[in-house]
A and B are shown apart, each in its own frame.
Chain A
Amino acid sequence: MLFNSSIFLIFGLIFFILWQYLKDNTNSRLSLITISSFIFYGWWDWRFLFLIVGSGMLDYFVGLLISKYPNKRKLLLLISIFGNIGSLAAFKYSGFIFGNIDILLSSFGINTCLKCNIPDFMLITPVGISFYTFQSMSYTIDIYRKELKPTKNIIQFFAYLSMFPQLVAGPIVRAKDLLPQLLVKPKTTEQERWEGLRLIVHGYFKKMVLADNLANIVNHAFVQENLSGSTIYWWLAITAFAFQIYFDFSGYSDIARGLAKWMGLNFNLNFNHPYTSLSLKEFWTRWHISLSTWFKDYVYIPLGGSKKGKARANINMWITMLVSGLWHGANWTFVIWGAIHAFFLHLERSFNWPKYFLNNSFTRIILLIIITMQVWVAWVFFRAADLSQAFYIVSKMFSFNNDLNIPLKITDLVFISMGIFREFWIYHKLNKKSFYPKSWSFAVEVGLMSIFIIMIIFLRGPGSQFIYFQF
């Protein structure tokens, strides 16, 4: 079920009506969350519910066994990790792995088609598999590390694992943050409900008005037959994509956080204006925060983090970024995306060059542009259909030609400008300034919220699914 579908509106309405009656009793509340989440997920394809239930069951029982048999905890953790990574490998990476083995063997003159023998159902990536697998894994890892006590209540565990607002596209919520919240009788104030509405409306606005309208530009640009040769066009198209993916994904996170707020739960901020970053390191503290911290806590630090010297820290960082790339998709383009970030981060760590640009506002703007360009180049690989398309686009972006064949409409430029303006506004901290007297705040808040809702309804772009669903 998509947040931007009318069926979700009906689902949400029924859920929150039932919530009013069932929220006060812990078991009823947890059962409502679990059943609703299964309906939410099963609406897409009920057969894949078995996967989430299977993965959950494994981690639920492994969690209990780790606390019961602490001397076997390493083995139990390995079982959980193999189970989770195994289902990811089977359903998300089998085509990629076998396809690459086929290519490798063919270079030795052995013609095979291992990919052709993969059953059809394994070629469909279940929606959100990477998110709930990581969430489930973090549960057992935290128990293994003695940072969390396992829950004995299986409904509480599944309410945590399948929580519908964040099930398919995050934010990835840690068990130690959410499990205790689920046991507290939810009580929300008017201010919290309003804050929830604000997040939901802003989320929908980002997704349906900004991202979906920018999608028109991006989809047109990346169609093989339309590939343009213009430098300006490609910078604009990639800018459109950078904002599309940002609004699409952060919009989803905002809706999830808003819905959670209405349920009396608190999910951490997942995006914090990443395009205002003045270093790539800062970018990764602002972009998809729940995933970055997951990789930091469960990959980078276990590898040794930065405690074993600079060289080892850089190797660990490279590994983490490459795995992060692969997490996003079973394609070499995503691995290269991770590698580009790793490369620029490596330069930044080695020379700490951004510090030379922090002297005045002019050099800071230059720095902002350089960081943005690095991120933009990486986005090309993230969006391109294959490596040859990506290299073609990057070559055009840096050929600095005067080709003015730019197939964009005025409205396209308006949506790109809205994206830039929004981050510019934050960069200059204008959001913290008040442009009207305090006594007007009620009217302004209510009026603006109403206008945003009307814009979502009548100015939305062609409906499409959230980009991060495929991950």
Chain B
Amino acid sequence: MKLKDLKYERMFYVSIIVLILITFIISLRPLKRENEYKANKFWLNKTIAEPIYDIVIIGDSRIYRGISPKEIKKYLPNKNILNFGYSSARLSSLLFKQAEKKLLKTNKNKIIIIGISPNALISKAYENEHLTESLKKAHENKYEILYFNDFLKYFEPIRGRDFRKDNSPKYIEKYYNDGWIASDKELRDTNEAIISYKDWFSKKSVSKKLINKLINQVGIWKNKNITVYGFYMPTSWSMKQIEDSLSGFNEEIFSAKFENAGGIWFHFNKNYKSYDGSHLTEKSAIEFSNDLGKKIKKVQEIK
């Protein structure tokens, strides 16, 4: 065919062929990563959450998997609560700043709850990569994720592994709008995280500088009339032993500093169940959230 004989542009023919090929591929392709899309939307919603909250809970994955704001709300019915936990979060200024932004400015009784895990106090281990990445995505891909998420999953790159059978035990995750991910694994292994944490803490320990900055922040919040609660986030018994002996984190000393700075510290001595040795199961997370809610209610009533 000669160019001058063309009824339509070549671009037109290309468009038709591409549309046919896309339809064909989409109808045949495996959609194995649907969960990633749910997760994308979940993290975006958390990151761009409006400043309407009375209570914001911060910390790492133990926090966002282990605390259900809905359960706490049972004891504090008029409060809007957000779980603002991020993977491998460091308790550093970036997280503090972002968390404070989520609080309702006009509220006179603002609360920040800090769930401590020693890993979140290690200085250079992670640079709040997950939070930074989420902020970047919220800036660059906000509309894409909000409005085209369900559509774009069909256009995910196809990889060889998509066609292979994956026999590894999978996460069971339920995403909640309040920032909680109810988690479990198809096959529980309570030792899964133990070895890596043991190895990790043999090389790294909590940073005094980061602890001081955190304590300093508690004081700053106190001066801004923000109530700060803190606690050592429950984990499995074995993990607690490793963290107590290797991480350099001492709850007694830390809680004293925390309270001196004006914060309120909660001790939890109960045993909760973990599915991987680090994070709480859905049932334990609900139980723990209830225990936390009760403690906050008690303090609030005294106040």
Contacts and interface: CB of A to CB of B under 8 A. Distances in A.
Contacts of B13: 446
Interface in A88-135: none
A190 B144 contact: no
A197 interface: yes
Nearest to A453: B18
Interface in A395-452: 411, 442-443, 445-447, 449-450
B10 A457 contact: no
Contact of B18 (A5, A454, A461): A454
Q: Which secondary structure dominates chain A's binding surface? A: helix
Given A6-B148, A411-B160, A453 B14 contact: yes
A296 interface: no
B94 interface: no
Between B13, B14, B17, B141, the greatest number of chain A beta carbons within 10 A of the residue's beta carbon is seen for B14
A194 B144 contact: no
Interface string A1-37: 0100111000000000000000000000000000000
A347 interface: no
A459 interface: yes
User: Which of A191, A193, A445, A453 is most buried by chain B, counting CB atoms within 10 A of its CB?
Assistant: A453
- Considering residues B10, B17, B21, which has the most beta carbons from chain A within 10 angstroms of its beta carbon? B10
B11 A197 contact: yes
Given A5-B144, A6-B152, A454-B22, A460 B11 contact: no
A458 interface: yes
B10 A454 contact: no
Given A450-B14, A450-B21, A461 B157 contact: yes
Contacts of A190: 3, 6, 9-10
Given A5-B140, A5-B144, A454-B18, A193 B25 contact: no
Contacts, number: 58
Interface in B1-30: 1, 3, 6, 9-11, 13-14, 17-18, 21-22, 25, 29
Contacts of A5: 140-141, 144
Nearest to B24: A454
Given A6-B152, A459-B157, A445 B18 contact: no
B237 interface: no
B17 A450 contact: yes
A469 to B, nearest CB: 12
A460 B157 contact: yes
Indicate the member of A194, A447, A450, A459 with the most B CB atoms within 10 Å: A450
Contacts of A450: 14, 17-18, 21
Interface string A286-310: 0000000000000000000000000
A458 B10 contact: no
A454 B18 CA distance: 7
B143 interface: yes
Interface residues of A, number: 24
A383 B14 CA distance: 38
Contacts of B144: 5-7
A458 B17 contact: no
B157 A458 contact: yes
Nearest to B160: A411
Contacts of A458: 25, 29, 155, 157-158
A442 B11 CA distance: 11
Contact of B14 (A2, A7, A449, A461): A449
Interface in B148-183: 148, 152, 155, 157-158, 160
Contacts of A443: 1
A460 B157 CA distance: 6
A442 B17 contact: no
Nearest to B1: A442
A431 B115 CA distance: 62
A446 B157 CA distance: 23
A447 B11 contact: no
Interface string A451-471: 001100111110000000000
Contacts of B3: 190-191, 442
B10 A446 contact: yes
Contacts of B14: 197, 446, 449-450, 453
A2 B139 CA distance: 12
A454 B25 contact: yes
A460 B11 CA distance: 22
A410 B10 CA distance: 36
Nearest to A191: B3
Given A6-B152, A449-B14, A454 B157 contact: no
A442 B22 CA distance: 21
Contacts of A197: 10-11, 14
Contacts of A193: 9, 11
A329 to B, nearest CB: 20
A457 B143 contact: no
B136 to A, nearest CB: 10
Interface in B213-271: none
A461 B22 CA distance: 18
A457 B17 contact: no
A8 to B, nearest CB: 10
A29 B140 CA distance: 28
Nearest to A1: B140
The listed residue with most A CB atoms (<10 A of its CB), out of B6, B21, B144, B157, is B157
Contacts of B22: 454, 457
B260 to A, nearest CB: 29
Contacts of A447: 17
A446 B13 CA distance: 7
Contacts of B148: 6
A461 B158 CA distance: 10
Interface string A251-285: 00000000000000000000000000000000000
10 contacts: A6-B144, A190-B6, A193-B9, A194-B9, A197-B11, A443-B1, A446-B14, A457-B155, A458-B157, A459-B157
* Closest 4 pairs (CB-CB, A-B): A450-B17, A442-B1, A458-B158, A446-B13
Interface of A: 2, 5-7, 190-191, 193-194, 197, 411, 442-443, 445-447, 449-450, 453-454, 457-461
Given A190-B6, A458-B155, 5 more contacts: A5-B141, A194-B11, A442-B3, A458-B157, A459-B157
